[in-house]
């Protein structure tokens, strides 16, 4: 069965520092996609970044980059130059191929990031 | 602006009562999803729909029902059979064959 593991319940970082949020996954699929979402205290899930299993380059979106290590089955999110507004819960997710349509997502339990000034 | 709306923001349910959560999208997405989030947890799939008049159960469908009469709308009913309904409910949508899902602002359901 597919699984997403986020081992860091909470992370603390100062403004302008970089931070890495860990995510490991388990799948027997050859083709899969990995996602990171941000959930601020308001509750809405905000899509940040996507990495396909066949993508040769690590995905980047502004201050977000995904450190994809396929052999280790890890997809860590790197946030450069942290800002106070980055304080939120962050979820790693992947497509659930066991689901009939194969389009729903399975999520990790999340990591709470706190950025201080 | 294109997006997903959910209403109400907060919903209170009495024992034995059915309640319906609304989800509407104007992104012209074919697929829609309902997830449940419990405190300190990730999201779990309740139901999903890829086309109008068709929907499939997710991992935790018991005690819930859905309909998909229009492409834009995917309401979720929490029935009295759902014994532990207190949670945060998130609706999402995506294009068919595109994996990225976009979420609404959520509905928080509380039991009186």
Nearest-by-Cβ selection for A108 from B42, B88, B105: B42
Residue A45 burial (C-beta neighbours within 10 Å; 0-12, 13-18, 19+): buried
Per-residue tens of pLDDT for chain B, all 112 residues? 679 999 999 999 988 899 999 999 999 999 999 999 998 888 999 999 999 999 999 989 999 999 999 999 999 999 998 989 999 999 999 987 777 899 999 999 998 8
Q: Of chain B residues 1-30, which have a CB less than 8 A from chain A?
A: none
- Rounded distance between C-alpha atoms, residue B104 and residue B54, angstroms: 21
pLDDT for B99 = 75
pLDDT at A100: 56
Q: What is the pLDDT of residue A102?
A: 58
For B89, the token pair is 């409910």
- With beta carbons less than 8 A apart as the criterion, state whether A25 and A6 touch: no
Supply the DSSP symbol for B66: E
What's the pLDDT tens digit per position in A41-82? 999 999 999 999 998 899 999 999 999 999 999 999 999 999
Share of residues in chain A with pLDDT > 70 (%): 96
pLDDT value at residue B41 = 86
For residue A103, which of B37, B111, B100 has the smallest C-alpha distance? B100
Q: Residue B112 has what pLDDT?
A: 83
Partner residue opposite A104 with nearest CB, options B40, B45, B104? B45
Residue from A104, A107, A112 whose CB has the most chain B CBs within 10 Å, to mutate: A104
Average pLDDT in chain A? 93
């Amino acid at each position: 069965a597919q699984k997403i593991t986020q081992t860091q319940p909470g992370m603390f970082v100062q403004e302008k520092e970089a931070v890495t949020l860990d995510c490991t996954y388990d799948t027997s699929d050859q083709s899969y996609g990995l996602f990171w979402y941000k959930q601020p205290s308001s509750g809405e899930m905000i899509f940040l970044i996507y990495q396909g299993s066949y993508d040769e380059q690590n995905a980047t979106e502004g201050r977000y980059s995904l450190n994809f290590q396929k052999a280790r089955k890890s997809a860590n999110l790197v946030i450069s130059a942290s800002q106070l507004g980055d304080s939120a819960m962050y979820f790693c997710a992947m497509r659930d191929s066991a689901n009939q349509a194969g389009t729903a997502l399975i999520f990790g339990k999340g990591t709470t990031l706190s950025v201080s000034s | 602006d294109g997006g997903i709306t959910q209403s109400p923001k907060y919903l209170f349910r009495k024992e034995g009562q059915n309640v319906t959560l609304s989800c509407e999208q104007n992104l012209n997405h074919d697929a829609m999803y309902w997830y449940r989030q419990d405190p300190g947890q990730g999201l779990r799939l309740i139901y999903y729909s890829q086309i109008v008049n068709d929907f499939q159960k997710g991992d935790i469908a018991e005690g819930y029902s859905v309909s998909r009469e229009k492409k834009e709308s995917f309401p979720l009913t929490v029935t009295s059979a759902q014994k532990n309904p207190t949670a945060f409910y998130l609706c999402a949508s995506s294009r068919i064959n595109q994996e990225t899902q976009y979420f609404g602002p959520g509905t928080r359901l509380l039991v009186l």
